[in-house]
Amino acid sequence: MILQITSLGHNHNQDKLNFPPPLIFYFYSQDELNKLKSAQNETVAEKENKNFEAMKFKDLYESEQKLREKLAKRLEKANDKANKAQM
């Protein structure tokens, strides 16, 4: 249900003064409010889930980067040892 409040009568000076449009109030039934709350809760839950997934993938990426760095250092050391052994 929509209720629109307007002023009584019309003053031609209002057009020149750029008054804001009349206020509009929305009245929702309890069923509509419940649907809106439910939709909002679903949206919040989806956002939290996406944030959790993003953090999980970020952590996985960072741990993989650290592992790659360790393996690169090991490989470099092994190559150095192999080169020294050949000399």
49-71 residue pLDDT tens: 999 999 999 999 999 999 999 99
- Name residues whose C-beta falls within 8 Å of residue 7's C-beta, 6 or more positions apart in sequence: 14, 22
Among residues 1, 53, 59, 43, which one has the least CA distance to residue 25?
A: 1
pTM of the model: 0.53
Residue 28 belongs to domain spanning: 2-86
Read off the pLDDT of each residue in 13-27 and give the average, rounded to a whole number.
67
Structural domains of the chain, count: 1
CA distance 51 to 42: 14
**23-44 as b/e, with b when 16 or more CB fall inside 10 Å?**
eeeeeeeeeeeeeeeeeeeeee
Among 6-10, 19-23, 27-31, 66-70, name the one with the lowest average pLDDT.
6-10
Read off the pLDDT of each residue in 21-36 and give the average, rounded to a whole number.
83
